[in-house]
Chain A
Amino acid sequence: QSALTQPASVSGSPGQSITISCTGTSSDVGSYNLVSWYQQHPGKAPKLMIYEGNKRPSGVSTRFSGSKSGNTASLTISGLQAEDEADYYCCSYAGITTLIFGGGTKLTVL
């Protein structure tokens, strides 16, 4: 159960698009399109942003989108806004009774 690999940090200017990668293995990300993404602001609980790879919960901005290629899932945020500055975590289903989080990515809006 090794953590999924995410870049430690990414940055972008307001209005730009950024992509955060989440790399796993053929046993987790590669086997299932069941990656979820969470946004966490300092001192707050995480918030679900994407589930089942590319689905948005009600109320989440359409600026957030998810995708997958092979063993790597990605979260793209378009039209970057100051309020998007936060930590982002991916999480993959890895078979019954097993879930794995990524190490997290700190997004800075310049």
Chain B
Amino acid sequence: EVQLVESGGGLVQPGRSLRLSCAASDFTFDDYPMHWVRQAPGKGLEWVSGISWNSNTIGYADSVRGRFTISRDNAKNSLYLQMNSLRPEDTALYYCAKDSSTWYWGRFDCWGQGTLVTVSS
């Protein structure tokens, strides 16, 4: 069964950094784009960042561009999100999502259970 397991969340002070990881299993990881999607407490979904299978194409939401960096290691079947200069408004449950589309982005057919990031002093 396709599985995505996020880790690395926690409580962090404003301005500090955090690195999230997503371990993928039971599918050919390097065939698919991958994404991070977040959900603030009681709020809706927000696309954060995406990366193509070979890391050649990367995109960010305006709200995180310049502060967050997405990357992947296909040899380790892993996706990462380096989050710098964190703000209270970055507080959210961060989901890792597999994208099964091959010619565009936006067909999230598998999601992890999320890792919670809380930014507070």
Interface residues of A in 31-58 (CB under 8 A from B): 32, 34, 36, 38, 40, 45-48, 51-52, 57
Contact of A45 with B112 in the complex, beta carbons under 8 Å: yes
Interface residues of A in 48-98 (CB under 8 A from B): 48, 51-52, 57, 87, 89, 91-93, 96-98
Contact of A101 with B46 in the complex, beta carbons under 8 Å: yes
Residue numbers in B under 8 Å from A45 (CB-CB): 95, 111-114
B59 contacts partner chain A, Cβ-Cβ < 8 Å: yes
B50 in complex: contacting residue of A48, A97, A101, CB < 8 Å: A97
A103 contacts partner chain B, Cβ-Cβ < 8 Å: yes
Q: How far is the CB of B55 from chain A (nearest CB, A)?
A: 13
Contact of B45 with A104 in the complex, beta carbons under 8 Å: yes
Query: Once the chains are docked, how many angstroms separate the CA of A87 from the CA of B106?
Result: 18
Q: How far is the CB of B53 from chain A (nearest CB, A)?
A: 14
Interface size class of A (residues with CB under 8 A): 20 to 34
Contact of B106 with A99 in the complex, beta carbons under 8 Å: yes
Write 11 A-B pairs (CB below 8 A) sorted by A numbering: A32-B104, A34-B104, A36-B108, A48-B108, A51-B106, A51-B107, A51-B109, A52-B107, A92-B106, A98-B59, A101-B44
Please report A residues at the B interface, Cβ cutoff 8 Å.
1, 3, 32, 34, 36, 38, 40, 45-48, 51-52, 57, 87, 89, 91-93, 96-104
Please report B residues at the A interface, Cβ cutoff 8 Å.
35, 37, 44-47, 50, 57-63, 95, 101, 104-109, 111-114
